[in-house]
Structure 1
């Protein structure tokens, strides 16, 4: 066979294309690990590229690797695939659950490719805190971005200790190597096709009564919710959830210990959440005395709050009145990197902190500002439905708004019963029971009129 020409065949082989570093770097992250090794087995040239190029395993996602999942076997089964020796009583629980991932790391280290991994994804796997410590501290690893979202058998208290030790003041120069950790958010999952429910068997549970419990009403409510989300995303400048009016970004509030850990890691290790920078977290601005608040037994709206993780995304427009905030919104490229969370999805082609934090714009306009706060800083100031909110300079939360939802409801009902509701200033309360008074609360009252709810 003569040499290949443009006239009768392709001028380059696949191995020739993948030998180009730029092509390989852009292609490899899209291939599952199993496909990479299958490709290496097709020819000597591709085998050499896969096992000797530093770009192949720069981004390593083990969350979809079957051998990385702990099988549901008893601890005394007599032997497991990822350990050569027989399991005995000396094997700790952490060693057992980290066995599959450790086995993969051992194989990569023998092939001298473990040092090339800079972005490591372990979402949903069994990852004890000791394994995270090794990834952060051991010289065998060179990980810059680590994702351990929704992992199993991970002791959070122990992980906090690992992180605090890694950022201690007396740590060696150039450590830790890791720059960002995805931990608090939800991992990206492949959307599965919805399964059709069987129509042969009837449900034994009694169907609830009421108009809103009907199938049509539930479908309508679901579509209204989806339409609201689609409209919010369309009006936003960025597709990133942190820059939209997404509301609560975490299913549950993080502990104070996590907030203190993030404070210790500030400027050294970034996370997929940030600390709230509201004025109540600033000791110089928060300690303000107020005789009226003390007399009513309620905390002053400007009372000090300890460091807290910001869990509510408020969009990029700021306060509904002044479109800003007292703490100054974070603007990428101008503010400190510690003010920005790591964004999802994890960047495929770069392991830098800038690539993980930089927001995207839909129309190519300027990067939007970031407004995020904790729930305590938004109490009585934020509408949970339309996500409007008012800052401390534009709205002083009244004593009524500082009360619990039950106390607020009783106060409003008493005012209506006594006929004194008209005496309340119209703008004295902007948010009641998590809804803005001017629009969302009125709509809720109209929807509940005539029902057996509290507005019936």
Structure 2
């Protein structure tokens, strides 16, 4: 720090010796940049490898040496395996986890492996045995682990290892991993903008909707919808917005049991559905007389919630029977780990806390599984009705309900009184279009048309060749031929 006394500006080594600057800067640098920077001088080598903050956040998903060069079956008839000239004692786990184990061993030799608190291994070859080592071995000190969209992961073995790691007879202070990103999609990587003059192959042969102007318009519409959802929900976190299906692939029922077992010990980027059908005291238990039929309120096994409904609640009562989860007041098990993975923190609070646009209190969280929303959730506008407002049905058809609205009337003497007004409100959803999914009556009026020629209904958005008055079949004016094959 003598350069400050001599009146000279601080050097890069002086800045990186500041713990606050290094902790805020290091997560944005790849591991190769940190390695190359440490080779420039002894001062920088000491500042990077002797500080516990340089490798607190470690993202190996962009490291080329961590990618398995052979992405196929390990042994196809004994040809590909021997072509690699490998040892016959090499196991499948050693082969697929070899690149990651090599990197972790190198970090252990540099005495920085213990400083890694957040480890990102998205889209890499990660085996269940490697995750078990991260959970149980003392040489690792990882608090938050991300293994989203990884390959060669045996889920059944991982479920067994997680149950073993949270067993009641486990050693004190274990497991060190407190958060596991597993179910959600990876964080999107920014891509460079393509030139405006560059066109994709076969663009002209795919219709007007595939033109460059239509694609740009669709992208802007999607961005506008995301901005509107963020403004209404006061946050950009997808779990707290009416985002619909937040988990693309529905997890198996065994994962719901694992989340129950790990509750309070390991948090995930998913939560269990808290709908009334999952509560034995509130759900309807069918007896022997209901042979083969499922009541709309029958009991459901524990299921992972995959649909984000937003903070507004039911379309009719603006609430939910189970009550929304409020951050800071509800149990931490009711809040999922939010994406992206925190850069500057390794605690569960940093990974679960939603960030609002105006700095106000976080909005309420309402999530459900698809079975609890069957027949009562619009997949286009994300409106939904709870069990008290709409019982639903097994075939998920719309139902016309007579609801009484009160309107104010003025008597001749000047006093006011309420008069009942009978109105008909159609609630519930129905699959009118296979592309749109189950939609409400409002969305049907916007997108479903009746062809004036054949009188059949069609979706104006999914049928590219259709018009406002005719379907794609009647609007197609060319000569039709019958193709047998």
Q: Shorter-chain TM-score: which interval? A: 0.7 to 0.9
2:296 alignment counterpart: 301
In 1, are the aligned partners of 2:240 and 2:308 still within 8 Å (CA)?
Answer: yes
- Equivalent residue runs for 1:222-261 within 5 Å: 223-261=220-258
* DSSP 3-state at the match of 2:114: helix
In 1, are the aligned partners of 2:237 and 2:354 still within 8 Å (CA)?
Answer: yes
1:342 corresponds, among 337, 351, 362, to 337
In 2, are the aligned partners of 1:164 and 1:261 still within 8 Å (CA)?
Answer: yes
In 2, are the aligned partners of 1:275 and 1:339 still within 8 Å (CA)?
Answer: yes
In structure 1, C-alpha distance between the alignment counterparts of 2:205 and 2:23, rounded to whole Å: 57
Q: 1:69 to 1:218 in 2, by over 3 A?
A: closer
* DSSP 3-state at the match of 1:284: coil
In 1, are the aligned partners of 2:380 and 2:443 still within 8 Å (CA)?
Answer: yes
2:445 corresponds, among 416, 433, 442, to 442
In 1, are the aligned partners of 2:203 and 2:211 still within 8 Å (CA)?
Answer: no
Q: Could you tell me how far 1:174 is from its partner in structure 2? A: 1.5
1:266 alignment counterpart: 263
In structure 2, C-alpha distance between the alignment counterparts of 1:234 and 1:387, rounded to whole Å: 16
In structure 2, C-alpha distance between the alignment counterparts of 1:201 and 1:333, rounded to whole Å: 49
2:59 alignment counterpart: 61
In structure 2, C-alpha distance between the alignment counterparts of 1:204 and 1:13, rounded to whole Å: 53
Q: Which moved more, 1:183-192 or 1:35-44?
A: 183-192
In 2, are the aligned partners of 1:320 and 1:389 still within 8 Å (CA)?
Answer: yes
Q: Could you tell me how far 1:141 is from its partner in structure 2? A: 0.4
Q: Which moved more, 1:15-24 or 1:347-356?
A: 15-24
Q: Could you tell me how far 1:322 is from its partner in structure 2? A: 2.0
* DSSP 3-state at the match of 2:448: helix
In 1, are the aligned partners of 2:306 and 2:367 still within 8 Å (CA)?
Answer: yes
2:117 alignment counterpart: 118
Q: Could you tell me how far 1:224 is from its partner in structure 2? A: 3.9
Q: 1:20 to 1:436 in 2, by over 3 A?
A: same
- Equivalent residue runs for 1:124-273 within 5 Å: 124-193=123-192, 195=194, 203=202, 207=206, 223-273=220-270
In structure 2, C-alpha distance between the alignment counterparts of 1:49 and 1:450, rounded to whole Å: 77
In 2, are the aligned partners of 1:380 and 1:432 still within 8 Å (CA)?
Answer: yes
Q: 1:45 to 1:447 in 2, by over 3 A?
A: farther
Q: Could you tell me how far 1:184 is from its partner in structure 2? A: 0.8
Q: Could you tell me how far 1:432 is from its partner in structure 2? A: 2.2
2:20 alignment counterpart: 22
In 1, are the aligned partners of 2:123 and 2:151 still within 8 Å (CA)?
Answer: yes
2:429 corresponds, among 419, 428, 431, to 431
* DSSP 3-state at the match of 1:283: coil
Query: Hey, which of these two has a bigger chunk of helix by percent?
Result: 1
What is the CA deviation profile of residues 334-377 of structure 1, one whole-angstrom value per residue up to 9, with x for unaligned ones? 01110011001111111001100000000111111101000000
In structure 1, C-alpha distance between the alignment counterparts of 2:41 and 2:360, rounded to whole Å: 46
Q: Could you tell me how far 1:229 is from its partner in structure 2? A: 3.0
What is the CA deviation profile of residues 359-408 of structure 1, one whole-angstrom value per residue up to 9, with x for unaligned ones? 000011111110100000011111111111111122222x3xx205xxx4
In structure 1, C-alpha distance between the alignment counterparts of 2:200 and 2:31, rounded to whole Å: 42
Residue segments in structure 2 that go unaligned for 5+ positions in a row = 72-79, 401-422, 432-437, 459-470, 472-485
In structure 2, C-alpha distance between the alignment counterparts of 1:342 and 1:382, rounded to whole Å: 24
* DSSP 3-state at the match of 2:89: coil
Question: Does residue 1:313 correspond to 2:308, yes or no?
Answer: yes
- Equivalent residue runs for 1:82-93 within 5 Å: 87-93=86-92
Q: Could you tell me how far 1:284 is from its partner in structure 2? A: 0.9
In 2, are the aligned partners of 1:432 and 1:441 still within 8 Å (CA)?
Answer: no
In structure 1, C-alpha distance between the alignment counterparts of 2:24 and 2:8, rounded to whole Å: 25
Q: What RMSD in Å do the two structures reach over aligned CA positions?
A: 3.1
- Equivalent residue runs for 1:7-46 within 5 Å: 9-10=8-9, 12-46=10-44
